[in-house]
Structure 1
């Protein structure tokens, strides 16, 4: 007996139509939801029944929602282009969009992303300038922005909020008695650290100062907060972990000591707190217990910047190099060289790793993004 003749009918079975009639569509939708875009396109062509399940199950909408939930670029585009209102649970009064809307939206998004990546790699951009000069200084130490505003920390001890549309200053927050060296904000508060050794909390809408935290005995160099927790670091070589019940109720949980020089930068998630110092080391601490876990050694001079996500830590140093580390085992995965001065700040996502040296020359599109999630360097672009 010809084995092909025996197997061919079995391999050509339509598993969707063979599913139990009761709840068939629900099961079929759940299975097809795992498909990526190319596979979903192919599935639409299998037969009318598959196309019906994909259409009635709004599977293109679910695919876009999955992308927007897990990819910052997709989410940013969704918010900026205005189609976030059609995703997830629609707002009250929002007109329900048919399956065809999402089917046509997907390739439009992909074209948008390709255009953004092309502009990024070729350096095409429109430059707009904000004049931050004041009578006392013209230095900007830190900033954060969104689609509506830019929040900047200045050398003249103030925080200025700028409108993204016309680039005009809409608020100036005063209270610090030293330069504002670091800040972060969300939809409720701006939290800033200063060379006056304090951390101050401001209402993001009114600009009113609602709290002042006095703990560090030297300049507060960096801070991060999320999910009711904040971590600050200082020139005094210490790291402070804070519990944030509300903007006015923030209590010190633990002080982490171990660095032998100023702690320049911190980052954290629910598993680890990561700190980097002028002592050339990166230290890893447990977020839950605040206990020391390990030290990452390798940089030849002090470390100025750091970012941590998933298992990957990326650090930039006065030794002009960038290092990539696996936080779980402490191994240095790769040393990136090319800058000829201090690497002052870095940023990476799933699409690119960027670094800025001390003289503000941007190196972008230089390092391949493909290994960032897998932690396996493959090639340089």
Structure 2
């Protein structure tokens, strides 16, 4: 802030009120400010700073933002996990001021980094595994999942290993109990889902295991093969989605076969240690194949491919009744992907990404890609991320995509997650507001985890040139 600016405000209303001993009024004025405004106000003069301290304005701002802003609450959680900060609001005002600035600066920095393409790159070599000559491993255990606390991945012996996402230290190992009298590779993890309470994994043998995330205790082993002919070689394909809230978790699974019908099963988990009832089970037409599925409190979404007509569709069903509410026809893809957030459906196919309004079933925006899309994800209300078969990650402007008047490209940045210059075998990608994580999946090479971090500390981190 310039000296002229400071001098100009030495005799402003705040100073006048303070001279008249009307500090309560000054306090109320500062209480209306947001983070950036309060930070700038503190730099105006010593008197302004003293008034802010007198009213304990930083403490009030922190408490208000943690109560009203999900962005601030999540950022505090991340800072606690990443840098071992104390998550409680300190009683000491100066400590409270410091914590508020740490959270506020991190929120501002994260927004700026996404907009400018600033990021750091990290490689997690301990994420790789010994080479296994098994098609089951190739198709299954390359998958991994992450949430704000952990990164999880299936291991060679069928166990699930968790790492602290921010320190990359091993956090927990979950051991399964599987039937062994089935197909070769039946102990290979096919799909993995977890939240703050439970871990769920499906296996090629048709079993689904559920653990307590905190104690690692195995709570349930569900047998999906009870609906199938063992000789039909059913295996879960893109078989799991876990949604809902504590006390009402929904578990959606799919048992699929290249020669028989697909079974889609919806279970309700009220208490994972008690019997888990099947709420709905549907059997699809033999020509239909489920490529991906998703469940939340209100909707079940199935990405289905018609093997006869070579057409794909998204079925939107009611979670309560499994009744089909809408069907959206989308471009054909051998391994279609989609994501859903707040009424927006993002679909990736061979050379195209489409953004749909699920309420009206209208395609809002369609963009082309040079390679087949293997991953899409809507990031907050500002961006979406995609990755193609070559491992190129692209960041798109969601707000511009939603604006019909915006006719220019909505592509913001192209990011290289790795420095590899070799063919990739369908990269596996996960992303959220803080990081994009990718396994390159080179053929017969169990690659390490590559992380693009938008919450990095290195001020010299690379800046990708915006796309014109």
- Is the shorter-chain TM-score for this pair beyond 0.5, marking a shared fold? yes
User: How far did 1:358 drift?
Assistant: 3.5
For the pair 1:273 / 2:305, whether they are aligned, the reply is no
For the pair 1:219 / 2:239, whether they are aligned, the reply is no
For the pair 1:353 / 2:384, whether they are aligned, the reply is yes
User: How far did 1:285 drift?
Assistant: 1.2
**C-alpha distance in 1, partners of 2:52/2:404?**
38
User: How far did 1:333 drift?
Assistant: 1.3
**C-alpha distance in 1, partners of 2:203/2:316?**
24
User: How far did 1:56 drift?
Assistant: 4.6
For the pair 1:210 / 2:219, whether they are aligned, the reply is yes
For the pair 1:245 / 2:245, whether they are aligned, the reply is no
User: How far did 1:152 drift?
Assistant: 0.8
Structure 1 residues 364, 196: closer, same or farther in 2, change over 3 A?
A: same
**C-alpha distance in 1, partners of 2:313/2:73?**
30
User: How far did 1:146 drift?
Assistant: 5.1
Larger mean CA deviation between 76-85 and 180-189 belongs to 76-85
Structure 1 residues 207, 81: closer, same or farther in 2, change over 3 A?
A: closer
For the pair 1:188 / 2:220, whether they are aligned, the reply is no
Note the alpha carbon deviations across 1:189-234, whole angstroms, 9 max, x for none: 2111222223221233454432122345332223223322323232
User: How far did 1:117 drift?
Assistant: 3.3
User: How far did 1:69 drift?
Assistant: 1.9
**C-alpha distance in 1, partners of 2:215/2:107?**
39
Matched residues, number: 346
**C-alpha distance in 2, partners of 1:293/1:369?**
25
Q: 1:254 aligns with which of 270, 277, 280?
A: 280
Note the alpha carbon deviations across 1:69-125, whole angstroms, 9 max, x for none: 246863553332344613xxx4xxx5544463356435532464267537x825631
Q: Which residue of 1 aligns with 2:399?
A: 370
Q: 2:106 aligns with which of 106, 109, 113?
A: 109
Query: 1:1-381, aligned counterparts within 5 Å?
Result: 36-38=34-36, 55-56=56-57, 58-62=59-63, 64-65=65-66, 69-70=70-71, 74-75=75-76, 77-79=78-80, 80-83=82-85, 85-86=87-88, 90=89, 95-98=91-94, 100-101=97-98, 104-105=101-102, 108-110=105-107, 112-113=109-110, 116-117=113-114, 121=117, 124-129=120-125, 130-133=127-130, 135=132, 137=134, 139=138, 140-145=141-146, 149-154=150-155, 156=156, 158-164=158-164, 165=167, 171=173, 173-176=175-178, 177-215=186-224, 217=228, 218-220=234-236, 221-227=239-245, 228-234=248-254, 235=256, 236-248=261-273, 249-257=275-283, 260-279=287-306, 280-302=312-334, 304-317=336-349, 319-341=350-372, 343-350=373-380, 351-359=382-390, 361-365=391-395, 367-371=396-400, 378=406, 379-381=410-412
Gaps (5+ residues) in structure 1?
A: 1-12, 18-23
Q: Which residue of 2 aligns with 1:6?
A: none
Quick one: higher RCO (CA 8 Å, sep 6+), 1 or 2?
2
TM-score with structure 2 length normalisation? 0.61
Q: Which residue of 1 aligns with 2:10?
A: none
User: How far did 1:158 drift?
Assistant: 1.1
Structure 1 residues 150, 226: closer, same or farther in 2, change over 3 A?
A: same
**C-alpha distance in 2, partners of 1:143/1:72?**
26
**C-alpha distance in 1, partners of 2:313/2:282?**
15
**C-alpha distance in 2, partners of 1:115/1:329?**
33
User: How far did 1:337 drift?
Assistant: 1.7
SS at match of 1:370: helix
Q: Which residue of 2 aligns with 1:21?
A: none
Does the 8 Å CA contact 1:241/1:253 hold for their aligned counterparts? yes
